[in-house]
Structure 1
Amino acid sequence: MKLDLLLRNADIITMDDRRPHATSLGIWQGRIVGLDDELDGLDAAEVLDFDGATVTPGFIDAHCHTTWFGLGLGEVDVSGARGLDQLYAMLEADMATIGATGEEKTSDQHTKWLMATGFSQTQHGGEFPDIAVLDRITGERPLFMRHNSGHMTVVNSAALRLAGAESPSFQNPDGGVIVRDAAGRPTGLVQETAQELVQQLILPYSIADIEAALDRATRRYASEGITSFTEAGVGGGWIGHSPAELAAYLRAANGGRLHARAQVMPVLDVLHALDGHGLDSPGAVPKGLDLGISTGFGNDYLSLGPTKVFLDGSLLGETAAVSHEFCSHGQKDNAGNIGYFQADPARLRERIEAAYAAGWSIAAHAIGDRAIDLAIDVIADCQATYGPRTVPNRIEHASITRPDQLARLATAGIAVTPQASFFRKGGDGMTTSLGPDRLPWAYRAASFLEAGVTLAGSSDRPVADGNVLRGMQAFVDRRTDSGAVFGNPDERLTARQALDIYTNGAAAATGTMDIKGSLTPGKLADFTVLSGSPLDAPDIGALEVLATAVGGRFTYQATGAQSFNTLH
């Protein structure tokens, strides 16, 4: 037998307790064949000397928004603005190149809009843009500026007129709000499901545009050591970009433009009745995709994950469904705010049960503890009725988790994806919003592991920083911009635990533990090469990604590491 690739002289952290460390690794047909002495007597088509560089299992981001991120790389990025005057200047600069009506551009529907990304009021002293100023800058050209949480958008009057939502008499949709001032005039802020009113004027993006976005986004992923990711919502709702979004993924994968393995979550909104689907439970109405396609369909490179359902909103936007009101930064007009569900809980339960009956695992977006209660109740009931799922059911974010909910999550086998990437930029604001009594419940980590809950590393990119190394460091130190430790200091992870959740933990949460998560013979040869070990680095985020490989093929090599020492 002749190997395809043999790595030598490497500091290999396998994340497999049966053999935690090695110096050599052999690869054949995209899989790991063996380590160290298991390779004795085997030759290889290519042998590389890594000169002591650290090799870890490939990083897995279990919750991100890749199409959104890739599209945003081609839009006006306002994330660097500090103060509204800087933000206005960025929009004015774009208008100067295009014109107030967009007539200088082509007739494509997206180019008529001023599309901006990366806005957060936390970067502007808690202030939102003045719609009167936005109107002066943009004229009749409609503006769509996504909040970095994804749960709200800033628009101008032109966009509201096109959506028919400018009038004070306009009724808010279920689960969303057109925010208005005391006189009933829109402020330009559009929350939750109300975003769809504007988005439907922009969507769908073409398959070609989405494919290009995936190419841009996953090239970035590869440069950061990411070999697999889960796209948390495609196909519809306010998070999707096209009803044919999966086709764009397939084209990108077949055309070599998808540079990491993808698990894709269709949003619950795109599932429809499967009239001919037989059920064990009489009277149930299953919901799915045609031909009965459901969670798990696909291959090692591109597959369908759980269906994504939004139960509540966001923490930064104070629309998450919590049991005690937000402190609201002392604002009297927000007294009594405990957030809200995105639809009537009974209706949400009915829709989730229909999807589960048709074979789908569930990924429930639940930020607040009230939403987490609903998610646990519904998922546990579905599992009891229809059985467990090979791909685990999940709660996305699980941001405010009460102590009593930990054991319930573990018993139900529900995985969670809290993001440490929120701590640095958003931690101080969330601390004020939550208050001291609930702060220990926020973005747990160590207590999830202690309770036996599957914890998956993820970023929620582009809502937050998607760099995995910085995410690991955030789980270790939990530092905010002010230097404070966010939440309960006892929730901090060790460096090994932080690496484990982005490898084994994320693999377990995505139902791929048998082929990913550790450098174990028989598993996929997905690995990341680093300038040092994350287990003992003073600052994990300062490490450099030297190379990334998927199935033994390099998807990224840093300048200067373009060719490791080739022995033959």
Structure 2
Amino acid sequence: MSVSCCSAHPVNQLHLGDALGSSGTNIDPANHAAGAPVGASADTLVVGTIATGNLAAPLAEAMAISGGQIIGIGSLSDVEGLANASTQIVKPEGIVIPGLIEPHMHIWTSLMNLTWTDVSHESCATFDAVVATIKEAAQKTPAGQYVLAKLFDPSLYAGEPDLTRAILDQVAPNNPVVVMNASMHYVYVNSAAFVAAGIDDQTKDPAGGTFGRFDGKLTGVVGEAAAMMLMLANMPRPSAADMAAGITEILNACASQGVTSLREAATGTIAGIGELAMLHQLNGVKRLPVRVSTAQFAMMSGKTPLEVAAAWKEAGVTPFSGDEMVRADAWKVVTDGSNQGRSGYFLQPYLGEDNGGHANWTPETLRSTLKAGLDDGWQLMVHTNGDAAVEFGLEAMEELLPGYGAKDLRHRFEHASFTTDDQLARMAAAGISPSFLMNHLYYWGAAFRDTILGSARSQRLDRVASAYKAGLRPSLHSDYNVSRVHPLQSARTAVLRQLQADGSVLNPAECATVDQALAAITTNAAWQIHADDRGSLEVGKRADYAVVNENPWTSDPAGWDKITVNETYIDGTLAFQA
């Protein structure tokens, strides 16, 4: 299987594997909620403006909580009988909304470059700004120490410019520089970085990697894992304590956007069971700020998918095992790569090219890998980016799923970036729901339209409205660190479909309604991660909520990305405070 945007790059394994491996493989759930029984009287009464996310009763002024569960919600008079002398009265400064759900992001593969300087298009609107940001970072870094930057994407700048050795030598003459491409398929380095790695113009390309050259001289563009690993082998590596701090930082960043539950979408890619063990260990020391659902990756180094399935089972990692904070829920398979990286699998070629990407599996190996997950009772979470990948995955699922009865496993296609009407209808018939990366549209929509796929195909990007019309329950996700976790921005894009590049609207027929977009980051997303007790504020559900400065259900969607989060709560207790 090839490296893709959802699998662990070997560079990640090189730098994080040892620290993660040291956490061991003991799965020990903390069960923080075990001692909090639900009673007839409220522990906490939340009083204020409450947007419930329940369309049948969208507003409330009081919410009664016992043992972390909502036991009453409505007018103050409706619930005040549930309070007693010991009930804590809480009056939030803002609007209470359901905790948002991030159904697809990556903790582990985001750790390596967590602290690197951000040179994404979101932070650097022009190529000149990228260069200036790296120069500024170099000026603040002691001579001889690495200057590290991340998320550079030439496809978002006119002419798709590379960060060459000559440019980086000029802006950082006294430091080795490494800049990671957003796809993680390339790094851009300067002369000092080549010297630190022991690489010069005479170094041969390793099998499966390339050192870019012009007239026999290294350009500074280093491509694919084999060459990148040679380039980065001597860089400092984090300790287990560094990684624990990084995980906490990532989860707090999610909570700061109103997220109370998330799906880690490729668990086990770097250090196998050790990744899940570390999450449980951290949660045992202190309750995590966000609930984590994990999707167990079908590939581990040196193991077949059947062997991987056996390893998870032997460690006691079975469907829905864990506790209320860290729970194993899915089996993850990646069928193709990145559309903006031109490795997504399409029915027709990319613009100006003679190929349309490729699948990561043969039909036979894909079916056997999916079957390994189904046999153990997992929800399938299948990465399908291009329209050919959707077709490839759909044909396999249509063949396999009838043999497993009518189990409510809520299988998913991740990204499902480019689909046809027929594919959406067949997904609905097969019981497969899509999760859309709306930032594909926001950040890369113009590039898909103008340089990667063309106008006609770009109209089929992230078809939220059509998914609803087909009877599907779509969700929206960030694929962090492909883009940052910000569910309300994703929902904004689903409604407006405006491109960051020029403000134009890409296929207005696919604009979601306000209720559809917000359901995709609350109730639908909760349903997709088997969290039916979350996503809206109703009697019987968990008291997971955020306090924000505006009600998204009644405010202008154009301003959703500016809504601020003051606090998040899990089971009615504070998890994050701004």
TM-score by length of 2: 0.80
1:259 to 279, 286, 289: 289
Question: What's the offset of the Cα at 1:64?
Answer: 1.3
1:467 to 486, 491, 496: 486
Matching residue's letter, 2:293: Q
User: Structure 1 residues 424 and 206, CA, compared in 2 at 3 Å: closer, same or farther?
Assistant: same
Matching residue's letter, 1:425: Y
Range with bigger deviation, 470-479 or 335-344: 335-344
Question: What's the offset of the Cα at 1:504?
Answer: 0.6
Corresponding residue of 2:370: 352
Alpha-carbon separation, structure 1, partners of 2:371 and 2:196: 35
User: Structure 1 residues 203 and 289, CA, compared in 2 at 3 Å: closer, same or farther?
Assistant: farther
2:181 aligned with 1:147, yes or no?
A: yes
Alpha-carbon separation, structure 2, partners of 1:193 and 1:447: 41
2:263 to 230, 244, 266: 230
Matched residues, percent identical? 25
Matching residue's letter, 2:130: L
2:562 to 542, 553, 563: 542
User: Structure 1 residues 222 and 166, CA, compared in 2 at 3 Å: closer, same or farther?
Assistant: farther
2:94 aligned with 1:64, yes or no?
A: no
Matching residue's letter, 2:514: A
Range with bigger deviation, 518-527 or 382-391: 382-391
Corresponding residue of 1:492: 511
Q: In the TM superposition, what are the counterparts of 1:415-426 in structure 2 within 5 Å?
A: 415-426=433-444
2:280 aligned with 1:250, yes or no?
A: yes
User: Structure 1 residues 542 and 84, CA, compared in 2 at 3 Å: closer, same or farther?
Assistant: closer
Alpha-carbon separation, structure 1, partners of 2:289 and 2:196: 38
Structure 1 contact 527–548 (Cα < 8 Å) conserved:
yes
User: Structure 1 residues 486 and 399, CA, compared in 2 at 3 Å: closer, same or farther?
Assistant: farther
Alpha-carbon separation, structure 1, partners of 2:367 and 2:199: 30
Show CA shifts across 1:441-463 (max 9, x none). 11110111111122112111221
Alpha-carbon separation, structure 2, partners of 1:306 and 1:183: 49
Corresponding residue of 1:34: 72
2:476 aligned with 1:445, yes or no?
A: no
Alpha-carbon separation, structure 2, partners of 1:153 and 1:366: 25
Corresponding residue of 1:397: 415
Show CA shifts across 1:13-64 (max 9, x none). 323344333221111111111113552422152112347x432211001111
Q: In the TM superposition, what are the counterparts of 1:55-454 in structure 2 within 5 Å?
A: 55-69=96-110, 72-79=113-120, 80-95=123-138, 102=145, 114-125=147-158, 126-134=160-168, 144-150=178-184, 152-154=186-188, 158=194, 170-172=206-208, 178=210, 180=212, 188-191=221-224, 205-236=238-269, 240=270, 244-256=274-286, 258-270=288-300, 272=303, 288-291=312-315, 293-327=317-351, 334-387=352-405, 390-432=408-450, 433-454=452-473
Name the SS for the 1:41 alignment partner: helix
Q: Which runs of 5+ in 1 are unaligned?
A: 103-112, 278-284, 328-333, 559-568
Corresponding residue of 2:520: 501
Structure 1 contact 5–28 (Cα < 8 Å) conserved:
yes
Alpha-carbon separation, structure 2, partners of 1:138 and 1:351: 46
Question: What's the offset of the Cα at 1:213?
Answer: 1.0
Name the SS for the 1:15 alignment partner: coil
Matching residue's letter, 1:25: M
Alpha-carbon separation, structure 2, partners of 1:257 and 1:276: 32
Range with bigger deviation, 470-479 or 138-147: 138-147
User: Structure 1 residues 501 and 437, CA, compared in 2 at 3 Å: closer, same or farther?
Assistant: same
Matching residue's letter, 1:171: A
Structure 2 contact 475–520 (Cα < 8 Å) conserved:
yes
Alpha-carbon separation, structure 2, partners of 1:258 and 1:472: 25
Corresponding residue of 1:8: 47
1:46 to 58, 83, 88: 88
Matching residue's letter, 2:359: F
User: Structure 1 residues 127 and 276, CA, compared in 2 at 3 Å: closer, same or farther?
Assistant: closer
Matching residue's letter, 1:379: M
Structure 1 contact 95–138 (Cα < 8 Å) conserved:
yes
Alpha-carbon separation, structure 2, partners of 1:364 and 1:192: 23
Question: What's the offset of the Cα at 1:370?
Answer: 0.9
Alpha-carbon separation, structure 2, partners of 1:162 and 1:361: 46
Alpha-carbon separation, structure 2, partners of 1:343 and 1:483: 37
Corresponding residue of 1:105: none
Alpha-carbon separation, structure 1, partners of 2:536 and 2:547: 14
Q: Which runs of 5+ in 2 are unaligned?
A: 1-39
Corresponding residue of 2:571: 551
Structure 1 contact 6–48 (Cα < 8 Å) conserved:
yes
Structure 1 contact 179–191 (Cα < 8 Å) conserved:
no
